[in-house]
Structure 1
Amino acid sequence: MGDIYILMLVALTVLAIIDLVVGVSNDAVNFLNSAIGSKAIPIKAILIIASVGVAVGAITSSGMMEVARKGIFNPAEFYFDEIMFIFMAVMITDILLLDVFNSLGMPTSTTVSIVFELLGAAVAMALIKISNNDAETFANVGKYINSDKALLIISGILLSVFIAFTVGALVQFLSRLLYTFQFEKRKSFVNALFGGFAITAITYFIFVKGMKGTPFYDDIKHLIEGRTFEIIIYGFLFWTLLSQLLVSVFKVNILKFIVIIGTFSLAMAFAGNDLVNFIGVPIAAWNSYQEWHASGIPAHEFSMGVLAKKVPSNPTLLFIAGMIMVITLWFSKKAKSVIETGINLARQGDGHEKFQANAVSRTVVRGAISFSKGMSKIVPPKSLKWIDSKFQKPIVELPKDKSYELPAFDMVRASVNLFVAGILISIGTSLKLPLSTTYVTFMVAMGTSLADRAWGRESAVYRVAGVFNVIGGWFLTALSAFTVAAIFAYVIYLGEIVSVAVLLIIVLFLLGRSSVRHTKKAKEKKEKRYMERAELITINEVVKESSDHISEVVKRVNKLFSNVVIDLSSHDLNKLSKTEKHVRKLNNEVNELREEVFYFIKSLDDSSVKASRFYILILGYLQDITQSIEYIATTSYKHVNNNHKQLKSSSIKDLNEINDKLKVLFDRIESDFTKKDFDNLSNIIDAKQEIIDYVSESIDKQIARIRTEESSPKNSSLYFGILLETKDLISALMSLMQLFHDFNVQENKNK
């Protein structure tokens, strides 16, 4: 029987390694966003600093391991086999849950996920024990679970979200009044005071949050505990004087120094305190196995009260875990997706928005606008003018091919993000409040973004929607973690090792599929052409980019139209559904291109401005084409989905004939635009009339059928709709060809 638990320990070890990878991928956002977003130092230097912080934090993290052992449930109330079932359910759930959020590029809290997984699995096991004991009822759940701890965690979530956002916004507002957007022009003593305050907060954070609970803390706690005020005052004086020296004598950019120290401190605190979220459960399982194996008592009779006592950690295991975290930090592609989400929501400039506006975000933005108007009537105009002057951004003159190198936000905001997050987490720790580093760092970043006027009228509704999406994901984390872990614990209880094997196979399958999908998605994103500010400059580049767009759209429309005709003739609902999704995706991509026209026009040099009208018209025709194919695909899908009659064979025959003619036309266009050979455009334009005439004949045939044999009004409506939209599609395509032909002829004349 012991072999079963050895296999479980092996599985837990593998799961711990996987959990470290997916966990770091999610939590890297906590300590990398500010440094990467501000571009204070090169990305490799950021990763080196963060790696050192993670390694130090991992090695000194032993004090937090007790959470997995006794923080959520009362171990004395469970037997060894039940504890192992709980731990297996927790680890399997944690990996799946975090991987889902990583794949979506959404930051969530590993602390909350592990806590609610432990809670869910323990509750499920407690209910099983209660159901098997006639002397107990549901009211006895309390003796198995530390319910007060769970409630404290939930209240901590709500409190940290509100406080972090508010404090971050207030400190950033005051910092911007002090620094404006031209911090390099501030007096040296201003930099010294700001540096002294920020670095004091960060170093105190390192000692209070990063060192507390470690094996070394007992040796230095007499120097820290009860002397908070002295440490802060002396620290402030020391760091202020040092900052003055660095700024005045060595000409050091103190904000860059703050970002470096802040990144190290948050990375250290993350590893030191969140490592328990990834390996705490497997270590607790190993400790449990050792105690049970030495006892000689059957697994279903050995009480796990032994978990309540403190157990020394294994430095070797902590070191190995730290190295895995460091390697993940350097190579995880999903970590980059999560970081990108946080930076995009906080960036100063406009650009492509990841999230769509919703009713809540619109309401919040309207409320903020109304509040702003109300405040403008109360605050004196001179004061408003003075405040506005502090938020005026300098015009940065960069070559057009270098504009993409601008940081998402400046080092003032990056510094505020880091030291405010450090202060709040330090206070939470000293008050023994269950704060999540993810919640605090993310909400501080969002608060500073708002105060820094990064959320303008152009972007606010999307940014607010993004924040609500992330916050909603946090609460979804808690609910999902609790529910899924409870279900898995029950399944493992029923099937024991068989259930564990099946669940592990499912985990490996889902992780593999997730990795493939993420790689595919990243590849599509890389190939996807957003109109960046510096992407197009000359007329030749406009023509090249336009021809690439046309070639790509025509190729996909060709395939989509063929799919609709084939699937409609076979009345295949599943394939029509997939085709409709692909059509919507194509339409969205063309719409995104149109939304980025502003940046395209800004990117053109003076001699190429006439290309603007040409490009705008091309995008308009491409949108007409995609809207036509979207209508054809959507109406066909709805027709089959509503279980209407199949089109008559004569109608299908006509559609197949149209499809064959269009395929020849589309192939010619795709080939010419891929090769950038525009000499045959006039021949393509001349060929349009033949297809349009055939479509018109098909309409006439259907009219004749209605008068003689056709008995289905739904079939006629669908068929007429497809034919009319096909005519519109051909007309838009030929107008596009004519436009490109005329522009090409004119350019050749100019040359």
Structure 2
Amino acid sequence: MENIYLIMLIALFALAVTDLVVGVSNDAVNFLNSAIGSKAVSMRTIMIVASLGVAVGAIFSSGLMEVVRKGIFVPGQFYFDEIMIIFMSVMITDVLLLDFFNSLGLPTSTTVSIVFELLGAAVSVALLKIYRGSGDYSILLEYINSETASDIIIGIFLAVLIAFTVGVLIQYITRLVFTFQYEKKIKYIGAIFGGISMTSITYFILIKGLKSIEFIPLEVKNSVTENTWLVILISFGFWTILSQVLMSVFKVNILKTIIVVGTFALALAFAGNDLVNFIGVPIAAWQSYGLWESAYQTTGVLPSAFSMEGLSGSVQTPEFLLILAGAIMVVTLWFSSKARSVVDTGVDLSRQGEGEEKFQPNFISRAIVRYSVLLGNAVSTAIPNKVLNKVDKRFDNSAFLNESRKIDAPAFDMVRASVNLVVASILISIGTNLKLPLSTTYVTFMVAMGTSLADRAWDRDSAVYRVAGVVNVVGGWFVTALVAFTAAGIFALVISLGGIWAITALLIIAAGLIIRSAVSHAKEARESRSKKRYNRQDLITINEITIETSKNISSVIEGINSRYTKAVDGLGYHDLTRLKKVNKSVDALDEQVDELKDNVFYYIRSLEENSVAASKFYILTLDYLQDMTQSIGYIVRNSYKHVNNNHKNLKFNQIRDLKSIDNQLQTFFSDIKVTFDEHRFRDIAKIIAEKQEILDHVSALIQKQIDRIRTSETSPKNTKLYFGILLETKDLISSAMNLLELFKEFYEDAQRQF
């Protein structure tokens, strides 16, 4: 009997390690966004500072399992075997849920997920217990503390609304004071700004970050609480003087100092307070096992008869586990690609300049933007033009946007990054002091969104995409609660009915899903790294334009060649599965060319005067590439449609003829790819000279099909598909020829210039 629960404990701690990894990957958005987005210091420095904050917070965390102490469920109402079922279902759900959000690159709350998982699992076990017992479901509330769940939901609304609103107001005022050309202003009022900022962060560390450190005497903690305003006043004076000294004597950029210290503070608070979200459940299970085992050795009580009243108190975590957990968190910070993916979402939604938008508009974002524009226009009419013009000058960000064209340029400046950290610190400190149930994820994310709105980062061209992103993220938070509650409840029911076999099956499924997610995300990360960045300032010379364009042509040609072959093979075997896969892959090719076209504006802006003539060449190149992708798209989609509709197979002679064309095209496209990959542009003339042979072959096949129709062909659907493929193949070849001739002409002109 003991062996079963020992196995469950081992599984729970294995899940805890996984949960630490996926949890840190998601919560990294809380304390890395501002530093990474502003590029105030190097990425290495950011990671070192964040790692120190996480390590210190984890080591000195009290390790109290707050979600149990706050009473999500009443432990005394459950027996040991039921408690273990609850904990197992919670951990499996948490790992899968957080990993899912990480894969999407969306930040969510680990606190909300663990709370609603505990609630869902406890409700499920309680309902099953009532069903097997009295059948009186009205006593369900005796098992569950419903007040905590309602407090969490209210906390979500308050955090979203207050954090966003305060972020907008503070950033608007700050930008009016500093403008985007803040270098001069910082010399005169930087010390005061530094004093306010560092005081806020210091207070945040005292109230939120270090409140759980055990070796600090209770008297000291109470003294800080009782003398809050004195602490704030002394801290403000000290930091203001120190800021002035650092700027005047040591020539230190005070904004960088604020960002570094703020990053450390948020990382410290995260590890010190959120660590228990990841390891609290296994620790509680461990303690539960210890309580039952002692009783079992003494009285022989069975797991199904041992009440868990002993869990009603706080659950203390051993120091060595805190140190181990901290080490895992630090390693995850350095090596998790999913952590960077989640951070990138927050940075992209708040960046000052234009760029590729991750989210697509929806009816909510369109409505919000539309009515916001109307409201803004109405307010503008009530304000004198002189005032509006002065305000517009304070928000002139043209210099920053010019700089943002550079590769690895910051997403926003250090003024906004400082405000993000300071406002988040203040709000979290106040919320903690007032014992409000808030989430650091919600606060930090919504502050960042508010400051970006106030900074006019969301203009008419980008607002609908950014708002859609915020709507998706905020909507995801509520989905977290719903899915966490439902999934944990279902898992708890399955485990209750299936026992150890159900646990084994769920663990295998969970492991398989996580491994699959990791492999898929790694593949996407590699593809993302291989993508070129088109708003770069270094694409300025004729030679660089030639190289960049040749890469684009090679990539698209390779994709077209592969899909054409797969489409013909799929038709030959009448293989719906194969055609379905290639049909889905066509969209990726379309998106590749669309992305190139989306960045034409930035490409042209990046050219020097003597290279501007290349703009027309680049635009025409993209036009021919789009013609080619449209042709292959028609071929693939109609082939898939034909087989999916269960039409007759193409005749053997038709497949043989298409395959002969495919073989010629493989050679043709392979030659083009090699030419552009190896920059053997002088070979283009030779490839062009061979085009007529392929076109003549296609024309001959068209005539052959005409003859078939008059003699043996009996299927109009086959004829339609076959003619369609041949005609689009002809267009595909023609577009490729036009592209090669355009490139040849451009290359020869470029050679004559040098």
Q: Find out whether 1:389 has 2:389 as its counterpart.
A: no
CA deviation digits over 1:653-680, x for unaligned, max 9? Answer: 3322322222222222222222222333
- Aligned to 1:395, the other structure's residue is in SS state helix
Q: Find out whether 1:414 has 2:413 as its counterpart.
A: no
Partner of 1:336: 340
CA distance in 1: counterparts of 2:81 and 2:578, whole angstroms: 48
Percentage identity across paired residues of the two chains:
58
Instruction: Describe the shift of the 1:397–1:725 C-alpha distance in structure 2 as closer, same or farther (beyond 3 A).
Output: closer
Deviates more, 1:276-285 or 1:580-589: 580-589
Partner of 1:268: 268
Q: Which digits, 9 at most, give the CA deviation of each residue in 1:270-310, with x for residues without a partner?
A: 11111011000011111111111111121100000110123
Which position in structure 2 is the counterpart of 1:49?
49
Partner of 2:138: 139
Partner of 2:173: 174
**Shift of residue 69, structure 1, vs aligned partner:** 5.5
* Structure 1 residue 54 displacement after superposition: 1.2
Question: CA–CA distance in 1 between the matches of 2:465 and 2:739?
Answer: 33
Q: How many angstroms does 1:314 deviate by?
A: 1.7
Q: What is the distance in 1 between the residues matched to 2:645 and 2:479?
A: 34
Q: Which amino acid aligns with 2:100?
A: V
1:150 to partner: Cα distance: 0.7
Give the secondary-structure state (helix, strand or coil) at the position aligned to 2:121.
Answer: helix
Structure 1 residues 674 and 253: alpha-carbon distance in aligned structure 2, compared to 1, 3 A threshold: closer
2:117–2:488 CA contact under 8 A, matched in 1? yes
Q: Which residue number in structure 2 is paired with residue 458 of structure 1?
A: 461
Q: Contact between 2:50 and 2:264, CA under 8 Å: does it hold in 1?
A: yes
1:695 and 2:698 aligned: yes
| Residue correspondence of structure 1 range 274-285 to structure 2 within 5 A | 274-285=274-285
Q: Is the contact between residue 69 and residue 314 of structure 2 (CA under 8 Å) also seen in structure 1?
A: no
Equivalent residue in structure 2 for 1:512, among 510, 515, 528:
515
Residue in 1 that maps onto 2:674: 671
1:190 aligned partner: 189
Hey, what's the Cα distance between the residues in 2 that align with 1:158 and 1:149?
Answer: 15
Q: Deviations over 1:327-375 (max 9, x none)?
A: 2112222111111111111111111222222222222222222122111
Q: Is the 8 Å Cα contact of residues 530 and 592 (structure 1) preserved in structure 2?
A: no
CA change 1:542–1:66 in 2 (3 A) is: closer
Change (3 A) 1:475 1:187: closer
Letter paired with 2:220: I
- Contact 1:404–1:533 under 8 Å retained in 2: yes
Counterpart for residue 159 of structure 1: 158
Moved more, 82-91 or 550-559: 550-559
Q: Is the 8 A contact 2:580 2:640 kept in 1?
A: yes
* Structure-1 residue corresponding to 2:539: 536
Kept in 1, the 8 Å contact 2:255–2:415? The answer is yes
Q: Give the total of aligned pairs.
A: 749
Residues 498 and 397 of structure 1: is their aligned pair in 2 closer, same or farther, counting only changes over 3 Å? closer
Q: Is the 8 A contact 1:161 1:439 kept in 2?
A: yes
Secondary structure at the residue paired with 1:453?
coil
Aligned counterpart for 1:730 among listed residues 720, 729, 733: 733
Give the counterpart letter for 1:512 in structure 2. Answer: I
Deviation at 1:82, TM superposition (A): 0.6
Q: What's the CA shift for 1:393? A: 2.3
Alignment of 1:106-145 (within 5 A): 106-133=106-133, 135-145=134-144
Kindly indicate whether residue 426 of structure 2 is the aligned counterpart of residue 427 of structure 1.
no
- Give the direction of change, closer, same or farther, for the CA distance of 1:741–1:156 in structure 2 (3 Å limit): same
C-alpha distance in structure 2 between counterparts of 1:168 and 1:443, whole Å: 8
Letter in 2 for 1:42: S
Matched, 1:626 2:629: yes
> Relative to 1, partners in 2 of residues 1:77 and 1:692: Cα closer, same or farther, differing over 3 Å?
same
Q: Any gaps of 5 or more consecutive residues in structure 1?
A: none
TM-score by structure 1 length?
0.96
In structure 2, the partner of 1:201 is: 200
Shift of 1:624: 0.7
2:321 is equivalent to residue 322 of structure 1:
no
Tell me the distance in 1 between the aligned counterparts of 2:531 and 2:45. 29
Please state whether the residue corresponding to 1:62 is helix, strand or coil. coil
Task: Tell me, in whole angstroms, the C-alpha distance in 2 between the residues paired with 1:538 and 1:349.
Answer: 24
**Post-superposition offset of 1:235:** 3.1
CA contact (8 A) 1:530 1:593 kept: no
Separation in 2 of the partners of 1:204 and 1:700?
83
Contact 1:165 1:444 in 2 (8 A): yes
- 1:743 alignment counterpart: 746
Kept in 2, the 8 Å contact 1:87–1:282? The answer is: yes
Task: Report if the CA contact (8 A) 2:64-2:314 is conserved.
Answer: no
Q: TM-score, normalised by structure 2?
A: 0.95
Q: Provide the residue aligned with 2:719 in structure 1.
A: 716
3-state SS, counterpart of residue 666 of structure 1:
helix
- Indicate conservation of the 8 Å contact 2:192/2:240, yes or no: yes
**Which range moved further: 456-465 or 678-687?**
678-687
Deviates more, 1:117-126 or 1:204-213: 204-213
Q: CA deviation at 1:531?
A: 1.6
Spell out the pairing of 1:90-109 with structure 2 (5 A cutoff): 90-109=90-109
1:410-432 Cα deviation digits (max 9, x unpaired): 11101110111111111211222
Q: Over residues 458-507 of structure 1, what are the superposed CA-to-partner deviations in whole Å (9 max), with x where a residue is unaligned?
A: 22222111111211222222122112111211122122222222222222
Is the contact between residue 69 and residue 284 of structure 1 (CA under 8 Å) also seen in structure 2? Answer: no
Aligned to 1:651: 654
Q: Deviations over 1:569-622 (max 9, x none)?
A: 222111111101221101111110111122222222332222222222111111
The Cα shift of 1:545 comes to 2.1
| Mapped contact 1:195–1:258 kept (Cα < 8 A) | yes
- Residue of structure 1 in register with 2:224 after alignment: 224
Q: Shift of the alpha carbon at 1:214?
A: 4.1
Letter in 1 for 2:146: S
Q: Does the CA-based 8 Å contact 2:76-2:309 persist in structure 1? A: yes
1:561 partnered with 2:564:
yes
What is the correspondence of 1:471-550 to structure 2 with a 5 Å cutoff? 471-550=474-553
- Counterparts of 1:94 and 1:18 in 2: how far apart (Å)? 10
Q: 1:686 aligns with which of 681, 685, 689?
A: 689
Mapped to 2, the partners of 1:187 and 1:518 lie a distance apart of 42
Q: Given that residues 38 and 411 in structure 2 are in contact (C-alpha distance below 8 angstroms), is that contact kept between their aligned partners in structure 1?
A: yes
Which residue of 2 is the match for residue 291 of structure 1? 291
Structure 1 range deviating more: 245-254 or 555-564: 245-254
- 1:404 Cα deviation after fit: 1.6
The match for 2:24 is: 24
Query: Partners of 2:209 and 2:36 in 1: how far apart?
Result: 22
Classify 1:431/1:233 alpha carbon distance in 2 versus 1 (closer, same or farther; 3 Å): same
Match of 1:582 in 2: 585
Q: CA RMSD in A?
A: 2.1
- Tell me which amino acid in the other structure corresponds to 2:140: V
The aligned counterpart of 1:361 is 365
Quote the offset at 1:30 in angstroms: 0.2
CA contact (8 A) 1:571 1:646 kept: yes
1:309 matched to 2:302: no
Partners in 2 of 1:428 and 1:167 — Cα distance?
Answer: 14
Is the 8 Å Cα contact of residues 165 and 446 (structure 1) preserved in structure 2? yes
Task: Give, in whole Å, the separation in 1 of the partners of 2:224 and 2:401.
Answer: 49
Residues 533, 602 of structure 1: 8 Å contact kept: no
- Residue 740 of structure 1 deviates from its aligned partner by 1.7
* Aligned-residue offset at 1:188: 4.5
Specify whether residues 412 and 181 from structure 1 end up closer, same or farther in structure 2 by C-alpha distance, changes over 3 A only.
same
Equivalents in 2 of 1:124, 1:396: separation in Å? 55
C-alpha displacement of 1:394: 5.7
Which residue of the partner structure matches residue 441 of structure 1? 444
